[in-house]
Structure 1
Amino acid sequence: MAENSEQQAGKPIKYTITHHRQPKHTHEAFIKWIVEDHVPAAMPLFKKHKVLNYSLFVTPPPLNAVVAQQFSNFRPTWDFADYDCVIEYILPSLETITNVLSDPEWAEVLKDQDEWVDTSRALVSVGHFTPYLLESGEVVNVKK
């Protein structure tokens, strides 16, 4: 059963955005640019606006191709995502992302974005999240 708005109040927000690289760049060069240039430039701003967590989910084309082939046997109607990465934010509130995006320093962080990112293909998701299985193996938030 989905939790209602009152149950979600005060829970962190998960905000994700998919990125496709500009075709003139390799996947490897694109990820290198994100990790070595974009992330270091963005960190001070994320800390300033109290972003709780920032992570990069990289989707290498060779790995995607293998898994897409395997899935075609199990789930032939499923589409397989072809983006290069997903940037994931955990935020104290939705206002946090608005504050980051409207901060004048954000333009400097994004100065090279059009060279590297095909922003016309970006996909944003926003919502609440609930963990059920932790990396430690602990099961949480499941009624016994």
Structure 2
Amino acid sequence: MTTTTPLIKFDVCIYKSDDISQEEFLNWSTKVYPVKAGPLIKRYGIVKWTHTVQPTGFREPMRHAMKTDMGRPDWTVPDYDLVTTYWLRSLDDMRALTADPEWVQLEKEACIKSNIAIGHFVVGHEVVHFEGNVDNAGA
């Protein structure tokens, strides 16, 4: 029996720069930046790369629901504008990617669009309990 090593899930929680609108930031981060960064990310063997967009309009309703409906008054909904997630075989793949001169150049542009003074990393293994439960959609 062979065992497989789980992929490492690496989340980068990003705030936009105060100088640009959320619409401009999301357009750049989900449409412009991926065209430039995608080939480089693939070159370093990153298995999967996604973005989770967190619109400002979702935050306050969720905060309110947690406090009033869910009984979680001390829980928070962070103000991240975007979470970019990489699935890796090894953290060395991410280290190699971020050391590449092309990546360093891309990050210079990202520093203009993002507020790099704050942010958050989450690193671990994803445990999937079910996936693709589309048969019950709309039921």
DSSP 3-state at the match of 2:83: strand
Shift, 1:86, TM fit: 0.4
Indicate the larger mover: 52-61 or 72-81.
Answer: 72-81
Equivalence for 1:46? 41
Deviations along 1:73-96, one digit per CA (max 9) or x if unpaired, are: 121111221110100110111111
- Structure 1's unaligned 5+ residue stretches are 1-7, 139-144
RMSD: 1.7
TM-score under structure 1 length normalisation: 0.84
Equivalence for 2:54? 59
- Write out aligned runs for 1:1-144 (5 A): 10-73=5-68, 74=70, 75-136=72-133
Deviations along 1:47-74, one digit per CA (max 9) or x if unpaired, are: 1001000000000001112111111112
Instruction: Provide the C-alpha distance between the structure 1 equivalents of 2:44 and 2:113, rounded to a whole number of angstroms.
Output: 25
Instruction: Provide the C-alpha distance between the structure 2 equivalents of 1:37 and 1:111, rounded to a whole number of angstroms.
Output: 14
DSSP 3-state at the match of 1:112: helix
Which contiguous aligned blocks of 4+ residues in structure 1 show a shift greater than 4 angstroms? none
Instruction: Provide the C-alpha distance between the structure 2 equivalents of 1:137 and 1:130, rounded to a whole number of angstroms.
Output: 19
Instruction: Provide the C-alpha distance between the structure 1 equivalents of 2:134 and 2:90, rounded to a whole number of angstroms.
Output: 28
**How many correspondences in the alignment?**
131
Q: Identity, % of aligned pairs?
A: 23
Shift, 1:44, TM fit: 0.8
Q: Structure 1's 48 and 127: CA in aligned 2 closer, same or farther, altered over 3 A?
A: same
- Structure 2's unaligned 5+ residue stretches are none
